[in-house]
Amino acid sequence: MELTITQPDDWHLHLRDSDLLQAVVPHSASTFKRAIVMPNLKPPVTTTAAAITYRESIMKALPSGTSFDPLMTLYLTDKTQPDEIRLARESGVVYAVKLYPAGATTNSQDGVTDLFGKCLPALEEMVRQNMPLLVHGEVTDPSIDVFDREKIFIDTVLQPLIQRLPQLKVVMEHITTMDAVNFVESCKEGSVGATVTPQHLLLNRNALFQGGLQPHNYCLPVLKREMHREAIVKAVTSGSKKFFLGTDSAPHERSRKESSCGCAGIYSAPVALSLYAKVFDEAGALDKLEAFTSFNGPDFYGLPRNSSKITLKKYPWKVPDVFSFSFGEIVPMFAGETLQWQPLN
């Protein structure tokens, strides 16, 4: 069995830099036409000039003949100025601004500490420039249970933000809970959307602990209860236009995952489209896969849909145990397991 769809885009991707960038960008470029590239490097991509430089590095790392188009983002800080938002829009290469609450995830220490007190002028300029705000939707108060941080963020930050700036386009990134599903569904279409990862569609929090600690299933936001996974699957396979593909593929060298303080992030780029197809196939909703992977994202961002196509074939194939590079190894999601769908490159 084969399934041909419009070539998808990845609306949430980490490409890192230096050796990691060189290693991982071919995996994304082989499947996806475009990708929103996250800015949480060291140092973070806080200016348009830095975004342009980072994009040039990505383009140099691409295999020859690749038409992959990286869509750049700025890292919002307490010091981001409206002039920088205008420069970003005028650049033609920056498509969004990312909100990391300080301390929420990898390299987020430079993130926002006071959204309404320090970032409002930049947010108001984003409304004027029609520049989406991409939100890592978790509070970072250490007294709040890690499994409740998305819900609390919705109640205390996201709801008030949208009430204050109803014209601001917002993407709630990598949603993990029924609460997030309900919130996105309650918002006006075209104003608030959500990206959904393969791990939050296929795994619940048991996957962190079965057979011992499983560092390669550890990501932020952390995996949640089965009822939340089921709610997310139901939402994305319903045909709703508010949800779209964002892998949150986040590579780390194996020794940084399998350590006394393992890094958060799941490397899904080589298997992501196969895993999304698995979800929709098992839900009896393959007819809705193309909209989720290829239409809803560009429609939300106001970009043209891709004209190129990609074909997936249904036949058993084994995911590699590791990908080896000169600097070490990266373990992919579902390493060593057999999947049933594979893109034909």
Spatial distance between the Cα atoms of 108 and 49, rounded to a whole number of angstroms: 20
Measured between its terminal Cα atoms, the distance across the chain in Å is 16
Catalytic residue of the set 14, 216, 228, 278: 14
Spatial distance between the Cα atoms of 304 and 119, rounded to a whole number of angstroms: 30
Q: Is 136 a catalytic residue?
A: yes
Catalytic residue of the set 10, 151, 248, 278: 248
Catalytic residue of the set 9, 10, 33, 98: 98
Closest by CA to 44, choosing from 20, 69, 80, 87, is: 80
Q: Taking a C-beta distance cutoff of 8 angstroms, is the pair 319, 271 a contact?
A: yes
DSSP string, 165-219: -TT--EEE-S--SHHHHHHHHHSPTTTEEEEE-HHHHH--GGGGTTTS--GGG--
Q: What would you measure as the largest C-alpha separation in the chain, in angstroms?
A: 55
Q: Is 98 a catalytic residue?
A: yes
Length of the chain counted residue by residue:
345
**Number of CB atoms found within 10 A of residue 54's CB:** 21
> Structure tokens of 237?
């396979």
Catalytic residue of the set 27, 151, 174, 252: 174
Q: Is 248 a catalytic residue?
A: yes
CA dihedral 174, 176, 178, 179 (to 10 degrees): -70
Spatial distance between the Cα atoms of 294 and 48, rounded to a whole number of angstroms: 27
Q: Is 200 a catalytic residue?
A: no
Catalytic residue of the set 12, 228, 242, 257: 12
CA distances from 6 to 32, 67, 149, 310 (A): 10, 15, 35, 6
Q: Is 14 a catalytic residue?
A: yes
Closest by CA to 16, choosing from 36, 31, 38, is: 38
Catalytic residues: 12, 14, 98, 136, 174, 248
